[in-house]
């Protein structure tokens, strides 16, 4: 499913994921300042829409796949601090900062970042 045509609805869905299911916060971010009670009611209304539910489900699936890819890349770092991407050593690191940089490179290679 492509992003929603209504940009505020798409923003709401993205923010819903980012704020870990806090619909009120997601609504504030997508629609701007208003009373909290209004944001809560409007967010609740949006969550009943089929296209919103489908998009959130899709985004959660994408997030799950990205998390699995990150976990796989982390597991591929062996005791010698080698970072292996698709069977090839792409970096040898000596400290945690370098490990994070190598992981970032792998995530870019996978298209996650």
Are 5 and 56 contained in the same domain?
Answer: yes
Q: Please report whether residue 68 resides in a domain.
A: no
CB 69 within 8 Å of CB 58: no
Q: What is the number of structural domains in the chain? A: 2
Are 5 and 52 contained in the same domain?
Answer: yes
Are 4 and 33 contained in the same domain?
Answer: yes
Tokens encoding 99? 């490990």
pTM metric for this prediction: 0.65
Q: From its phi and psi, is residue 21 left (phi > 0), alpha (psi between -120 and 50) or beta?
A: left
Are 81 and 59 contained in the same domain?
Answer: no
Q: Please report whether residue 71 resides in a domain.
A: no
Are 9 and 56 contained in the same domain?
Answer: yes
Q: Would you say how long the chain is, in residues?
A: 113
- Local confidence pLDDT in tens for the 113 residues of the chain: 689 999 999 999 999 998 989 999 999 999 998 999 999 999 999 999 999 999 999 998 888 877 777 776 666 654 456 666 666 766 666 666 666 676 777 677 766 66
Contacts of 40 (CB under 8 A, 6+ apart): 23, 24, 27
What is the pLDDT, as a whole number, of residue 64? 82
Q: Please report whether residue 70 resides in a domain.
A: no
């Amino acid at each position: 499913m492509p992003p929603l045509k209504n940009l505020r609805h798409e923003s709401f869905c993205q923010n819903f994921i980012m704020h870990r299911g806090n619909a009120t916060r997601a609504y504030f971010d997508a629609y701007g300042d208003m009373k909290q009670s209004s944001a809560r009611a409007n967010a609740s209304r949006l969550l009943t829409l089929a296209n919103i539910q489908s998009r959130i489900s899709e985004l959660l699936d994408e997030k799950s796949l990205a998390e699995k890819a990150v976990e796989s890349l982390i597991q591929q770092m062996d005791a010698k601090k080698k970072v292996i991407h698709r069977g090839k050593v792409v970096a040898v690191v000596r400290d945690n900062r370098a490990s994070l940089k190598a992981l970032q490179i792998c995530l870019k290679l996978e298209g996650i970042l």
